[in-house]
Amino acid sequence: MKPEFDFDMVGKRLPYSVPEGFFEASSRRALEAVERHRRRRRLRTVLLAPVGIAAAAAVALGLFLSTPDVNPVAGEADQYTAIDRFVGSLSDQEVLELDKALSTDYFLSENVF
């Protein structure tokens, strides 16, 4: 009868290897992916800001005019979705260029005062 298998014969060893330098390269790639994610989020925020402002203005105007039939936020959700789709469709290079352009634009930059 064969002796029962003993887990100590294997321990935690694995039969796999990784290419040299893999983990350093992996960290770099992850940081680059994170930066791309932040750029897209920044771009989305900049593009969505006018939509939010317009919606808020429309709500205020609607309240002022007290016209119950008016739906000031109609289509706002569609605009958010459209912008999400637009940002999602951009290549990383396009996002980078647009992000640079927006951050130096006098009227759209966060630094405008």
| Cα 94 from Cα 47, distance rounded (Å) | 15
Contact by Cβ (8 Å): 102, 112? no
**Residue type (1 letter), 19:** P
Candidates 20, 26, 72, 96: give the one binding another protein (CB under 8 A): 26
Candidates 33, 49, 74, 101: give the one binding another protein (CB under 8 A): 33
- If the CB atoms of residues 18 and 112 are measured against another protein, the closer one turns out to be 18
Contacts of 88 (CB under 8 A, 6+ apart): 40
Give the side-chain half-sphere CA count within 13 A for 58.
14
Which range binds another protein by CB under 8 A, 20-28, 47-55, 62-70, 95-103?
A: 20-28
Q: Which residues bind another protein (CB under 8 A)?
A: 2-5, 7, 9-10, 12-16, 18-19, 22-23, 26-27, 29-31, 33-34, 37
